[in-house]
């Protein structure tokens, strides 16, 4: 059964109460009944001005079971990551590893002293850091320190050169809003990234009203000026005050684009608990350098000179300098399959954009026989998007059905149809890396961004799907198995979700998926 996909749903809401997934969906037993249940659920939305698009296909037969507005271009939010992840698996391979190279102009002496600079050349590895382990910098950058020590380096007489030139272009994805850029989810992108390129600002009320709150930054080295081997990554400007007990908490924490100063303004009541805010760092390569210097110092390896950041413009201006350096060691990332899994499970924007750029850089190396400096125009992001467009054409998706500005879904300029998303899901289910692809998706009621959704049968452990959310935008696309044991690929997008009260489209999307999971009929 197929619903007309050219009509725009201008749905009439049936009340402003929150829609919750039914605890006992009466299973449909025919395709006509399934279509009617989905239609009824869409008509019951509490956002009458929203535009919904739904596409459902049986994986076994390829038959379309339900569709509405399936060819309408909508903003997919983080369902964009499905395309980026598929591209990375297809073009790089699940076993491929990104390399971080440690270089010098000469070898260390017998005493372990490296007379010149130490150069760290980033390859876009997003895994450095301690965010998940809650460890110290010497743990998060342990592989780098270990590799340097294994190369015989005990002291660096020169400075630390942090080379992030692998990626050309702005340090943000195209179309990212300026007011997202100071948040942890909008962190700047660099070939040398550490701890997801954001830090925590922890605010605790002062001892009495009228005094400033107590502010600290984690990791501490990023804002401390008393460590001889580290230049602070950020400065703090505290204008906030402690208010009387019970006062409104109006704490505002902001770092303007291009600034290294974090402003803490407003008021925090004296009886409030501590608050923790994720704030992106202004220069990821400097953040990496500060963490590495701290890790090296803890291992007794000193770096006497200053930190220098080398970007893509420097490489273009001085291409001949490359031959002067020799590699001491190389640190591989986890395999791309693992990077894709980490990206999709947590919906990590930085990691998704780094994967797109890694594909762009690899495609350029192929096009120029390994000499990327021969290409002086365009950006690595554009190269990645060209590779994505070619990949999508190879599986039957034209640009008129999927067009992207960047790889994470933060941009509202990304546009895609649910028909295109389902085509991607079907193609990747048959791909040579199909197992890695399916394993990377969040599982309903089990892990990732679906850990707190689909917590009861028949959806718990049964839904594997990518979530997506922006203001007024909701998305969920993936796989579900019906009560009759047939696997379906589905995509649900909603744009313009505005209600009288608070709320998101999450419950209404989940109700649609529950109907699919409960379906007891055949798809033939």
Where along the chain do its domains lie?
31-91+372-441+471-518, 99-332
Provide the CB-side half-sphere exposure for 16 (13 A, CA): 5
Q: Could you tell me where the beta strands, DSSP code E, fall in 312-431?
A: 326-332, 402-403, 415-416
Measure the CA–CA gap between 482 and 489, rounded to whole angstroms: 11
Report in angstroms the alpha-carbon separations of 81 from 194, 311, 369, 436, 504. Answer: 21, 26, 29, 15, 20
* DSSP codes of every residue in 349-382: HHHHHHHHHHHHHHHHHHHTTT-GGG--SS-HHH
Fold of 31-91+372-441+471-518: Beta-lactamase (3.40.710)
**pLDDT value at position 17?**
35
How far is it, in rounded angstroms, from Cα 199 to Cα 131?
10
Beta-carbon neighbour count of residue 233 at 10 Å? 24
- Work out the angle at residue 498's Cα, subtended by the Cα atoms of residues 492 and 503, and round it to the nearest 5 degrees: 80
Q: Are 406 and 105 in contact (CB under 8 A)?
A: no
Strand blocks (E) in 30-123? 51-58, 64-68, 99-104, 113-114, 118-121
Strand order in the sheet with 118-121: 307-310, 160-163, 118-121, 99-104, 326-332
- Separation between Cα atoms, residue 197 and residue 187, nearest integer Å: 6
State both tokens at 412: 């509202």
Instruction: Write phi, then psi, for 220 (nearest 5 degrees).
Output: -60, -35
CATH of domain 99-332: 3.50.80.20
Q: Which residues pair with 114 in a beta bridge?
A: 156
Residue 207 structure tokens:
């001892």
How far apart are the C-alpha atoms of 449 and 468, rounded to whole Å? 9
Separation of alpha carbons 107 and 399, rounded Å: 50
Taking the mean position of all CA atoms in its chain, how far away is CA 319? 32
Centre a 10 Å sphere on the Cβ of residue 26 and count the other Cβ atoms it contains: 11
* Alpha-carbon span 87 to 387, nearest angstrom: 8
Contact 474, 52 (CB under 8 A): no
- pLDDT value of residue 208: 94
pLDDT per residue, tens digit, the chain (524 aa), is 333 333 333 333 333 333 334 456 789 999 999 999 999 999 988 888 999 999 999 999 999 999 999 999 999 999 999 999 999 999 999 999 999 999 999 999 999 999 999 999 999 999 999 765 455 665 789 999 999 999 999 999 999 999 999 999 999 999 999 999 999 999 999 999 999 999 999 999 999 999 999 999 999 888 876 666 677 899 999 999 999 999 999 999 999 999 999 999 999 999 999 999 999 999 999 999 999 999 999 999 999 999 999 998 887 777 657 778 999 999 999 999 999 999 999 999 999 999 999 999 999 887 665 555 544 568 999 999 999 999 999 999 999 999 999 999 999 999 999 999 999 999 999 999 999 999 999 999 999 999 999 999 999 999 999 999 999 999 999 999 999 999 999 999 999 999 887 678 999 999 999 999 999 999 98
Please tell me the pTM assigned to this model: 0.92
Residue with tokens 């950020």: 234
The b-or-e profile of 246-263 (16+ CB within 10 A means b, else e) is eeeeebebebeeeeeebb
- State how far Cα 352 lies from the chain centre: 4
Residues 327, 103 contacting (CB under 8 angstroms): yes
Name the 3-class secondary structure at 346.
helix
């Amino acid at each position: 059964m197929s619903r007309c996909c050219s009509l725009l749903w201008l749905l009439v809401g049936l009340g402003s109460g929150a829609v919750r997934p039914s605890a006992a969906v009466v299973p449909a037993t025919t395709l006509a009944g399934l279509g009617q249940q989905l239609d009824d659920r869409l008509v019951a939305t509490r956002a009458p001005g929203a535009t919904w698009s739904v596409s459902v296909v049986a994986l076994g037969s390829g038959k379309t079971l339900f569709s509405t507005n399936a060819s309408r271009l909508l903003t997919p939010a983080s369902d964009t990551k499905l395309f980026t992840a598929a591209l990375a698996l297809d073009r790089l391979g699940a076993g491929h590893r990104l390399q971080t190279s440690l270089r010098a102009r000469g070898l260390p002496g017998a005493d372990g002293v490296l007379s010149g600079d130490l150069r760290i050349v980033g390859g876009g590895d997003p895994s450095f850091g301690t965010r998940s382990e809650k460890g110290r910098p010497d743990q998060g950058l342990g592989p780098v320190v270990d590799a340097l020590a294994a190369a015989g380096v005990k002291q660096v007489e020169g400075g630390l050169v942090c080379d992030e030139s692998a990626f050309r272009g702005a340090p943000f994805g195209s179309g990212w809003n300026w007011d997202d850029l100071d948040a942890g989810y909008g962190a700047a992108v660099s070939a040398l990234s550490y701890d997801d390129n954001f830090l925590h600002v922890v605010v605790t009320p002062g001892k009495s009203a009228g005094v400033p709150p107590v502010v600290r930054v984690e990791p501490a080295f990023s804002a401390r000026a008393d460590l001889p081997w580290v230049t602070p990554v950020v400065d703090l400007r505290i204008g906030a005050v402690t208010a009387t007990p019970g006062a409104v908490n109006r704490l505002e924490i902001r770092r303007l684009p291009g600034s290294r100063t974090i402003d803490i303004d407003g008021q925090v009541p004296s009886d409030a608990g501590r608050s923790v805010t994720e704030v992106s760092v202004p220069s990821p390569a400097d953040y990496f350098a500060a963490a590495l210097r701290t890790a090296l110092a803890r291992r007794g390896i000193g770096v006497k000179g200053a930190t220098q950041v080398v970007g893509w413009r420097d490489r273009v201006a001085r291409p001949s300098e490359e031959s002067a350096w020799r590699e001491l060691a190389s640190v591989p990332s986890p395999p791309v399959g693992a990077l894709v899994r980490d990206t999709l499970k947590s919906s990590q924007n930085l990691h998704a954009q780094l994967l797109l750029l890694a594909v762009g850089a690899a495609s350029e190396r192929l096009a120029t026989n390994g000499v990327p400096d021969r290409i002086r125009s365009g950006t690595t992001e554009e190269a990645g998007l060209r590779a994505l467009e070619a990949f999508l054409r190879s599986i039957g998706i034209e640009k008129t059905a999927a067009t992207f500005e960047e790889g994470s879904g933060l941009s509202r300029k990304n546009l895609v149809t649910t028909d295109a998303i389902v085509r991607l899901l079907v193609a990747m289910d048959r791909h040579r890396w199909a197992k890695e692809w399916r394993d990377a998706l969040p599982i309903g009621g089990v892990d990732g961004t679906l850990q707190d959704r689909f917590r009861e049968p028949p959806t718990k452990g049964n839904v594997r799907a990518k979530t997506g959310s922006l203001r007024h935008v909701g998305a969920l696309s993936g796989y579900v198995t019906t009560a009759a044991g047939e696997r379906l690929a589905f995509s649900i997008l909603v744009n313009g979700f505005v209600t009288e009260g608070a709320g998101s489209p999450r419950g209404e999307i989940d109700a649609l998926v529950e109907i699919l999971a409960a379906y007891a009929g055949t798809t033939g």
